[in-house]
Amino acid sequence: MTSHHTQTVREQAYHVLVEASNSDEYAETLIENIASEREARDLIRLRYLVTTVIRRKLTIETVLNQFINRTIEPDLWVLLKLGAAQILFGASDHRHADVNETVEVARRVGKPHWCKFLNGVLRNIDRNCTNESPSKFASNVYPAQTGDELRLLKRGHFPDPHKDFAGYVSVAFSLPRWLIDRWQNRFDQEQLLKIANWFLSSSRMCLRVNLNKVSREKLLTLFAEGDSQGRPGNIATSILDIETNSVTQLPGWETGLFSVQDVTAQQAAATLNPQPGETILDLCAAPGTKTIHLAELMNFEGSIIAADVSEDRLSKVRENTKRCDAKLVETVQIGYEGNDFPAGPFDRILIDAPCTNTGVLGKRVDARWRISPADIQELSQLQLRLLTQAASHLKPGGRIVYSTCSLEPEENEQVIEQFLKDHSHFECSSQKLFLPGSPSDGGFQALLVDQR
């Protein structure tokens, strides 16, 4: 990536998108690498532009392809998508300026020969947009920022929702068709739309209050005094809808009064219910948010082994536990095959298993385009292996919570079913599938109890 100090936000978004398309790096990682170079307001705009282009890739490309009849070089294709994203999803009264400023990016990156073509295509897309707000889905209707905000094109580009509902949801909400086909077999149309709609955005920021140190009401008061409003969530530890440009600038961050964690994820450690003085294994622990929650539930008394395969990721665990003064946590690096497993035995084990992340595709915008049906099968084998290995390090009468951010049965219910077949002395005390938007991110959690 070239020097950033003189770059406009659009120009920098273009460079991030080009780098993301030419590497295995996640866009969010690339943004974090340059976050210190931007003011908070510019960083928000940069993140919005980059994530919108990636999140709405299928919608954008479907519209662009109606106006292009020649081969496009990859970097120009990136800039076309950046321009189209602003026209299709941005403020309608700013579309003319969005075109001009996107064309200007071509000049600034030394590609003036792109300008005429870029301008022509983006003007055609602008002319195809209307300012009308339709009330029903159609082949020329698509959701903007949410499914409640529909926009109308003069010409249809998408499958007819009455004839091919799955195809329409896939293109208009920008999700892989194979994934929509899978979900359509399990969820009705209302549920499917609720899931797809939730994934149109990064979803609401949710905080978990450290009740050992502060009450939720007191923390909300501290936020309000710093001009950051929030509201209580639907479980006792949660705060929703925080108004802030930077969570690290909120009062109480440095002293561990709260952590950023979705409502669904907050319930994993609570389901394990660790007790003060116990020895706990947190498997696949990075970045350590659930580790800290375990420590809080134990009143910071006992021992937690936080294990992961990546030393870089374990450094984030140490960073987070230090911020929250969780001195009972020790980090341990294990191998990809689960070798070098901490010996234990443990009173309780939390397994936050590697998965396809199909329950959190709003937050992890790149993931929807990186996963495949083959990944589901491959990961399910890894998940069962991790669960089996963990069980061999559990004390008789101990408990395991198996947790994923996936909606897929192969990674969830079927892993538990196979495990129980192989381990007759275990019982599944509870299991739950959380659907995205009901009212938080999606995922799965099962509580397994050793009956010996």
Residues carrying an active site annotation: 405
How far apart (Å, rounded) are the C-alpha atoms in residues 75 and 347?
54
How far apart (Å, rounded) are the C-alpha atoms in residues 214 and 223?
13
Burial 338-372 (b: 16+ CB within 10 A, else e): beebbebebbbbbbbbbbbbbbbbbbbbbbbeebe
380: left (phi over 0), alpha (psi -120 to 50) or beta: alpha
Closest CA relative to residue 445, chosen from 416, 408, 404: 404
Task: Kindly list the distances between the CA atom of residue 285 and the CA atoms of 31, 196, 329, in Å, as whole numbers in the listed order.
Answer: 23, 28, 11
Element housing 382 (H / E):
helix 373-391
Residues contacting residue 51 through CB under 8 Å, at least 6 positions apart: 27, 28, 202, 365
Give start and end residues of each alpha helix (H) in 90-215. 95-108, 115-128, 165-172, 177-184, 189-198
Is the Cβ–Cβ distance between 434 and 443 less than 8 Å?
yes
Give start and end residues of each alpha helix (H) in 226-372. 263-272, 289-297, 311-323, 367-370
How far apart (Å, rounded) are the C-alpha atoms in residues 145 and 125?
18
Task: Kindly list the distances between the CA atom of residue 134 and the CA atoms of 109, 110, 131, 140, in Å, as whole numbers in the listed order.
Answer: 38, 40, 10, 10
Is the Cβ–Cβ distance between 38 and 44 less than 8 Å?
no
Residue 224: strand pairing partners = none
Scan for tokens 């998508």, then name that residue.
Answer: 81
Scan for tokens 């084990």, then name that residue.
Answer: 349
